[in-house]
Amino acid sequence: MSRLEVSLAGVKLRNPVMPASGTFGSGYEMSEVMNIHRLGAVVTKGVSMEPWLGNPTPRVAETTSGMLNSIGLQNSGIEELIKIDIKSLQEYRQKGGVVIVNLAGHTIQEYIQVAERLNSESIDMMELNISCPNVKEGGAAFGTDPSVAEKVVREVKKVCTKPLIVKLTPNVTDIVSIAKAVEAGGADVISLINTLMGARIDIEKRQFVLAKKYGGLSGPAIKPVALRMVHQVAQNVKVPIIGLGGIITAEDAIEFIMAGATAVAVGTATFNNVNALENIIDGINTWCENHNIGNIMEIKGVV
């Protein structure tokens, strides 16, 4: 096994570094500026059954060491994703890359439909984004109530033939109870964290900067919260974890692995520097070399 190789629910990744969903398009857009073949996995933007229009603009706002977004999961629907995005990732996949498709839904039924549609496609894993609002049940995110979270995972797991990653929202009082619930529901892997709800106000205009008022905070500003949650969850579940939230350097990524993550994802950092993912992979490799580490998993959960 090479130094950076890791395994997530039986799926081998050549290194533990992947983009965070929604910050990397579907990968092919990035080929112009970087070598995507170096990535352990590619995670596509959230996809729903039918196209979603997304929110009005402004959809992003910069914050101190971070950003807010309220894109509203704009996407062209599952058929477009299969026709264009998944197809364009096949060369990457044939050369040993792992393709992960991120799923969005407004109802449990919608998640199920998307998962069923994807079963026969050339992808490796699915990632369930349970931060979406549960439209039929008042609009709170699926991932904010342990029993709802468990139910949606259980239902999707019944139809899904690929290993299922469940991505948690940090906007909860007790992340551990949610993590345990999705593990009980059958999650093969847990990823965390999604964005933290926040806001910014333009004091001259006396109005919120984002058209939707509130948005999801990401970037280095959230890293300490993410790291704490990854550690708490790692202490309480057996399934492997993908840690993310504010990673911009190799050192950040190593912190997450030491906290108990098997792999890491990088989102906002790529907006600042298109080379961020590659720099992180190189940096982890060098760090391991300098510390005589044969495989990166030797430091997993060491704190």
Partner 1 sequence: MIREVAKVVSNNECTSDVYELKLLVPGIAKDAKVGQFVNVYCKNQVNLLPRPISISEINGDELVLLCRAVGVGTNEFRDLKENDEIVIMGPVGHGFTICNEQRIALVGGGIGIAPLVELAKLLPKESTSVYLGIGKKEEVGFIKEELFRKECMGVKVATMDGTYGTKGTVMDILGDEIFDMIYACGPLPMLKALKKYVDKNNIKAEFSLEERMGCGGLGTCLSCVCKIKVGDSEKWEYKKVCSYGPVVDAKEVLFDE
By CB under 6 A, tell whether 153 contacts ligand FMN. no
By CB under 6 A, tell whether 129 contacts ligand FMN. yes
By CB under 8 A, tell whether 84 contacts partner 1. no
Q: Within 50-198, where are the H helices?
A: 78-80, 87-88, 90-94, 108-118, 146-159, 175-185
Peptide bond into 58 cis (omega under 30): yes
- Which of 132, 182, 217, 250 is flagged as catalytic? 132
Cβ-Cβ contacts under 8 Å for 211 (sequence gap 6 or more): 55, 56, 57, 58, 59, 70
- Which tokens is 224 given? 């300490």
Residue 285 belongs to what H/E stretch?
helix 276-290
Applying the rule CB under 6 A, the residues between 98 and 127 that interact with ligand FMN are 102
Q: CB of 66 within 8 A of CB of 218?
A: yes
Region of 50-58, 197-205, 233-241, 243-251 interacting with ligand FMN (CB under 6 A): 243-251
Pairing of strands 207-208, 6-8: unpaired
- Which tokens is 83 given? 């026709």
Q: Catalytic: 288?
A: no
- Which tokens is 150 given? 């468990």
By CB under 6 A, tell whether 171 contacts ligand FMN. no
- Which residue in 11, 18, 22, 240 binds ligand FMN (CB under 6 A)? 22
Applying the rule CB under 6 A, the residues between 71 and 90 that interact with ligand FMN are 71, 73
Region of 111-119, 136-144, 260-268, 292-300 interacting with ligand FMN (CB under 6 A): 260-268
Alpha-carbon span 249 to 234, nearest angstrom: 22
Shorter beta-carbon distance to ligand FMN: residue 165 or 234: 165
- Which residue in 106, 267, 277, 284 binds ligand FMN (CB under 6 A)? 267
Q: How far is the CB of 210 from partner 1 (least distance, A)?
A: 9
Q: How far is the CB of 76 from ligand FMN (least distance, A)?
A: 13
Region of 27-35, 148-156, 188-196, 287-295 interacting with partner 1 (CB under 8 A): 27-35
Neighbours of 122 (CB within 10 A): 13
- Look-up of token digits 């949650």: 229
**CA 300 to each of CA 248, 255, 267, 294, 295: distance values in angstroms, whole numbers, following the listed order:** 19, 9, 21, 13, 10
By CB under 8 A, tell whether 56 contacts partner 1. yes
Neighbours of 295 (CB within 10 A): 14
Binding site for partner 1 (CB under 8 A): 22-25, 29-30, 32-33, 45, 53-54, 56-62, 64-67, 69, 71, 74, 219-220, 248, 268-275
Any idea which residues carry the catalytic annotation? 132
Interaction site with ligand FMN (CB under 6 A) = 20-23, 45-46, 69, 71, 73, 102, 129, 167, 194-195, 218-219, 222, 244-247, 266-269
